[in-house]
């Protein structure tokens, strides 16, 4: 009950902050067919976190369709294997996996170290893995889960890749974000 009240007051606070012109633009844009990127990604290396479903899955397929090789960072070994098999079968590109639970500090560091040790340059790094939790949850490291998955894992991976990406001077880093944090209790 108390939580519901807090949530309602957050929504009330959030409402006036919203840029209603963005909503109008979004409704208008939704009626326009999306612009499709027809760039050639042959020979590029794209790293995507959380590629087993949703936005990450579609993004992985789209880059692979354009010829990019992928490294996907997923937490579920079976889903990850199935994804890479599908990508390799459909697009004949490389799909390598790093199995890591990005809510766990040791996995974040291990995934980052593996990427940092790659000899091949990274062209695109997409931080997409995310969760939508309605109740507070804490990881075994004692961190709030959304913070760990969405922010800390991206930070640790970027931090450990900083030297490599600067040296290579070609990568783009993309964060898939949300306005949802405003509703957090
Ligand atoms: N969909 C929306 O309307 C929306 C709106 C705003 C922002 N976003 C953001 O967009 C991103 C993708 O959302 P989505 O809707 O595509 O979600 P989704 O379908 O639930 O996909 C989330 C992906 O992240 C992975 N993941 C979750 N926790 C993980 C962890 N601890 N370690 C490693 N991987 C983990 C999931 O793996 P499993 O398959 O193993 O679960 C899955 O591959 C998220 O960051 C989300 O916050 C989405």
Q: What is the DSSP string of 69-119?
A: EEEEEES-HHHHHHHHHHHHHHH---EEEEE--TTSHHHHHHHHHHHHT-S
What does the alpha-carbon distance between residue 107 and residue 147 come to, in Å, rounded to a whole number? 15
Q: Within a domain: residue 84?
A: yes
Residue with tokens 């098999």: 85
Any residues with Cβ below 6 Å from ligand 1, and which? 50-56, 74-76, 79, 101-103, 128-131, 149, 176, 178
Residue 55 alpha carbon to ligand 1 centre in Å: 7
Tell me what pLDDT residue 10 has: 72
Measure 53 CA to ligand 1 centroid, in angstroms.
Answer: 7
In a domain, 16, yes or no: no
The shares of helix, strand and coil residues in the chain, as percent rounded to the nearest 5, are 50, 15, 35
pTM exceeds 0.95, yes or no: no
1: pLDDT strictly greater than 90: no
Q: 8 lies in a domain? A: no
> What stretch of H or E contains 56?
helix 54-65
Mutation probe of ligand 1 site: the residue of 53, 100, 106 with most atoms within 8 A of C-beta = 53
Residue 11 token pair: 């929504």
Domain count, the chain: 1
Q: How confident is the model at residue 114 (pLDDT cuts 50, 70, 90)?
A: very high
Whether 34 is in a domain gets the answer no
- Over residues 38-78, the pLDDT tens digits come to 889 999 999 999 999 999 999 999 999 999 999 999 999 99
Q: How far apart are the C-alpha atoms of 45 and 57, rounded to whole Å?
A: 16
Structural domain includes residue 11: no
Please report the pLDDT score of residue 66 as a whole number: 95
Is residue 184 very low, low, confident or very high in pLDDT (cuts 50, 70, 90)? low
51 is in which domain, residue-wise? 39-183
pLDDT band at residue 85 using 50, 70 and 90 as cut-offs? very high
From CA 103, how far away is CA 122, in angstroms rounded? 23
When the pLDDT of each residue in the chain is averaged and rounded to a whole number, the result is 92
Residue 181 has pLDDT above 70, yes or no: no
Spell 14-46 as b/e; 16+ CB within 10 A means b: eeeeeeeeeeeeeeeeeeeeeeeeeeebeebbb
In a domain, 23, yes or no: no
Rg (alpha carbons) of the chain, rounded to whole number: 18
Residue 107 above 90 pLDDT? yes
Nearest CA to ligand 1 atom 7: 178
The answer, yes or no, to whether residue 182 has pLDDT greater than 80, is no
Q: Is residue 160 part of a domain?
A: yes
Q: How confident is the model at residue 14 (pLDDT cuts 50, 70, 90)?
A: confident
In a domain, 136, yes or no: yes
Nearest to 126 by CA among 61, 180, 67, 81: 61
Tens of pLDDT, residues 128-177: 999 999 889 999 999 999 999 999 999 999 999 999 999 999 999 999 98
In the prediction, which pLDDT does 138 show?
A: 97
Q: Which residues contact 86 (CB under 8 A, 6 or more apart)?
A: none
State residue 183's pLDDT score.
Answer: 59
CATH code for position 133? 3.40.50.720
């Amino acid at each position: 009950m108390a939580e519901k009240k807090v949530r309602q007051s957050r929504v009330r606070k959030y409402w006036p902050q919203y840029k209603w012109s963005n909503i109008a633009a979004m409704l208008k844009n939704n009626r326009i067919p999306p612009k499709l990127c027809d760039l050639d990604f042959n020979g590029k290396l794209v790293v995507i976190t959380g590629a087993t479903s949703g936005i990450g899955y579609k993004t992985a397929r789209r880059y692979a369709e354009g010829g990019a090789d992928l490294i996907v960072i997923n937490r579920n070994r079976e889903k990850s294997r199935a994804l890479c098999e599908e990508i390799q079968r459909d697009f004949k590109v490389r799909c390598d996996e790093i199995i890591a639970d990005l809510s766990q500090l040791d996995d974040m560091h291990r995934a980052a170290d593996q990427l940092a040790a790659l000899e091949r340059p990274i062209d695109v790094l997409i931080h997409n893995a995310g969760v939508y939790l309605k109740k507070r949850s804490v990881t075994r490291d004692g961190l709030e889960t959304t913070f760990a998955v969405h922010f800390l894992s991206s930070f640790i991976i970027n931090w450990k890749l900083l030297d490599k990406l600067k040296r290579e001077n070609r990568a783009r880093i993309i964060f898939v974000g949300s306005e949802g944090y405003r509703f957090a209790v």
